[in-house]
Amino acid sequence: MFKVFTRIHNTSILFSFFSLGTFDDKDVKKREILLSNLATNNKEIMSRKTLFTGILCFVCGILIGYATSLLTINDDDHVRKRLKRNLSDNNDLVKTLRKDFEKEIHVLYEKLDAIHQELQLSKNKKINNKRNSDISSDETDQAECFYDTAEIFKDEIDEQKNDYQQIDDMFENDSIDVQYIYDYIKQKVSKIPNDAEMLWRHSKAAHLLSKSTNHMNNLESKKQLLYESFDMANNALKLNDHNANCHKWYAISIGCLKDFVSIKEKINNGIQFKEHLDIAMSLKDDDPTLYHLAGRFCLELLAISWAEKKLASMIVGYSLPEITYQDALQYFLKAYQLKPRWKENVFFIVQTLIQMNEQVKAHDYLKEALAIPFNEKSGEEQIIHDKLLKLQSSKFS
């Protein structure tokens, strides 16, 4: 811009200079004055150009510095936000790990306290017996103390195994009231609360008690027992997640809460039910109850309509597994192979075969199921027998 202005100004002066034509003395003086003015103007213009250039550079420097500072501030804000987010995530992780660690420590302390109490009781018995003896040698006393300690541990293990077997025998004995079994196990658990083997048996007893005649028609009592069953199974699983029975009773107990939870919880509980059944079957493949329950799960899914499945998928955010009646039948037949005279399982074989239009096979299994005796004191077994009679009259009469 300055170059254009300078050229225009100088051109005007030169034009004035050459427009004079011939020169006389006066003209010479005018020419000298014009040349002098031209030089002066050039110097003034160059001086202003230098000043303008300096100002322009100064302003540009300020703008560049401001823009750079804005970018730096934005980068700093981004870094600070990212560091703050990472710090928050790390704090959450530390809190979670700390809670888990404290739980584990608490469980270990409770186990140690229980073992210490049991050992102390047994040791006192041994010491009292020992005081009645005539042995006085210190070396002999030390050897006997060592022997007594090992014997105490062996006695404790044997006693626990005897307790487990006694309880299992009571479960199999229909003449023993389930209320008595429940009370007996609850007393055992109160003494040793962190025994996974005893806890899953507690879960089983509470579950069976909820299905007895005294509690079947009392919804609040049944609900309390079912939640107790779940709590015991959950505690057992936390103590030993490599135990098939802990997974089995966790699955059974969480599946029985379906009448007391929301639709979303019911769906999620159903998925957990199948997951823990699969784990239990991988740990113990000779338990007929596991295969029977897997077959029941298949029938439950097959009873859901297409629209209900889509709605369920929207609620929980994932698709439900695809199942066929053949899948259900295979589970029931596996249970039948392991326990052929299980009335309830044979009833579900009949139902599945009817759905598959295998009427002849269904009728054969129906007759077999009706011939199996059942405990009339059990409300659930009576219901199964009545359903078989209803099928006989409606489908095969």
Torsion (CA) 255, 259, 262, 263 in degrees, nearest 10: 70
Q: What's the pLDDT score for residue 39?
A: 54
Exposure of 369 by Cβ count < 10 A (0-12 exposed, 13-18 middle, 19+ buried)?
A: buried
Quote the CA–CA distance of 61 and 63 in Å, as a whole number. 5
How many angstroms separate the first and last alpha carbons of the chain? 112
Q: What's the pLDDT score for residue 17?
A: 40
Instruction: Report the 10 Å Cβ neighbour count for 175.
Output: 7
Q: What's the pLDDT score for residue 124?
A: 52
CB 336 within 8 A of CB 310: no
Q: What's the pLDDT score for residue 309?
A: 80
**Extents of the domains making up the chain:** 2-106, 304-397
Per-residue pLDDT of the chain (397 residues), as tens digits, is: 444 444 444 444 444 444 444 444 555 555 555 555 555 555 554 555 565 566 665 655 655 665 555 555 455 555 456 655 655 565 565 556 555 655 565 555 555 555 555 555 555 554 445 444 444 445 445 444 444 444 544 555 667 778 899 999 999 887 889 999 999 999 999 988 999 999 999 999 999 999 886 667 788 999 999 999 999 999 999 999 999 999 999 999 999 998 899 888 988 999 999 999 999 999 999 999 999 999 999 999 999 888 888 887 888 777 778 899 999 999 999 999 999 999 999 999 999 999 999 999 999 999 999 999 887 766 678 889 889 999 998 888 7
How much is the CA Rg of the chain, to the nearest whole Å?
Answer: 46
Local structure of residue 211 (DSSP, 8 states) = T
Quote the CA–CA distance of 318 and 337 in Å, as a whole number. 34
Supply φ then ψ for residue 51, to 5 degrees: -65, -45
Residue among 118, 128, 142, 135 nearest 194 (CA):
118
CA distances from residue 127 to 124, 144, 158, 326 in whole angstroms, order as listed:
5, 10, 20, 64
Q: What's the pLDDT score for residue 244?
A: 96
Residues with Cβ < 8 Å from 191, sequence gap 6 or more?
114
Quote the CA–CA distance of 342 and 9 in Å, as a whole number. 117
Quote the CA–CA distance of 368 and 351 in Å, as a whole number. 14
Among all chains, which residue has been given the structure tokens 């939640």? 227
Q: What's the pLDDT score for residue 130?
A: 47
Element containing residue 11 per DSSP (H, E): helix 2-18
CB 239 within 8 A of CB 196: yes
Quote the CA–CA distance of 327 and 389 in Å, as a whole number. 26
**Token pair recorded at residue 319:** 């698709």
Residue among 205, 200, 225 nearest 215 (CA):
225
CATH fold group of domain 304-397 = 1.25.40
